[in-house]
Chain A
C-alpha cells in the first residue's frame, strides 16, 4: 500500500494547500496582493486537479486542470489587475469586520466543515471524503470573504475562490461526468463576462465600485 500512501499524501497536501491559500486571501489588505493570491489559489487548484487526473486515470480531468491554469491563474488575474488599475481602486480594501474576527470565523468554518463532512461520508471512498471536507472549507471561506468585504472586486474574487472549491469537490468525486467540470469552468467564464460588464457600467455611472455606496441608495427607506 506504499503507492496509495503517496497518492493520498499528495492529494491531501494540495487540497489542504487550497484551504491555506483561502485563509491567506482573507487577510489581504491590498487589491493587487489579493489578486496575486487568487492566482496562487487557482494554481494550487490546477495542481490538485492534475494530481486527481493522474491517480484516477481520468485524462479528461487534465482539461479541467488546464482551464484552471490558463484561465483562472493567468487570464482572470491579469484582466482584473487592469480593471483595478483603470478604475484606480488599488488602495486598501474596506472590510466589514476586523481581520482578527474574520480569521477566527474562518477557523470555525473549517472546523465545521470537517466536523460535518467526515462522519457523514463514512461510506464513500477515503480519498473523496477528505477532498470533500476540504472543498467545503474552501467554499465556506469564499462565502466568508464575500460577506466580509464591501468592495465589488474583492467580492468577485471571493466568489471565484468559492467556484474553485466546487471544482475541487467535483474532481474529487471519482468518475463524475465531464459535463459538470466543463460547466463549472464555463460558468466562471460567463460569470466573469457579466462581472466585467457590471464593473464597466458601474464605473461609467458612478465613481466607485464600493458596493456600500450602492447600498446607500434604495428605492425605498426601511
Chain B
C-alpha cells in the first residue's frame, strides 16, 4: 500500500467538512473520488498535500506519517496554474528548481520528457501561447517532476471540451502506465471516473464521508469501446444507485 489515511476529519469554524476518511491507494493504481460539489473533496486534497492540518487522523505514505507536511505530495487542479510569466520549460522545471536543482540541469531533465507528453518544441513558449489540452499536459508533467510516484488530480480535465477531453483521457491512461504513477482523481463526471479508475470512492453526506467503494474490473489501458460496454453500464448503474438517483 502506497498511501493510506486513517480516520481523517477536518472542520472549519466549527462546521465539520469531512469525517472519518479512510482511503487507500496502491502502487500503479488510479483511484477515482466522486462526489457532488462542496462535499469536501478538495479539502481532502489540501490535507493530503499538507496545506491543511487535520483535526484528527493520520496520513501515511509507505507507512510513514506525513500528516501536515508540504513538499511531499503535490496536486494538480482544474486550473492548470502554469505561471504566465515563465516559459513552459521553466514552468515544468519549477518543482525541480524549488528542490534546489540548478536551472540548467532541470531544463535538461524537462527537455527529455517533453516528447512523451506531446510538448516537444513548446519549451520556449509562454503558457498563453498553448492550447488548453497542452497546458493540462504541461501541468501534469510538472506534477510528475514534483513526485513521480503519486499525483493528486483535482478535476484536471473538466475545463476542456469533450473531444479534447476524450483524447486526453486515452493519452492519460497510456502515459500513467508507462511512468508507473499512482493517482487519486477527483471528478464530477461519472463516465470519466469509470473510464479512468481502477477503483472509485463515492463521497457524500455532510460532513463528507466515503460512503461506497466500487471496483472497476477492466484492465488498463482501455479504449473508447469500453465506455459502451455492458460492464461500463453496470458500474454506472451501481454508482447512480449509490448517489441516490
Chains A and B form a bound pair: no
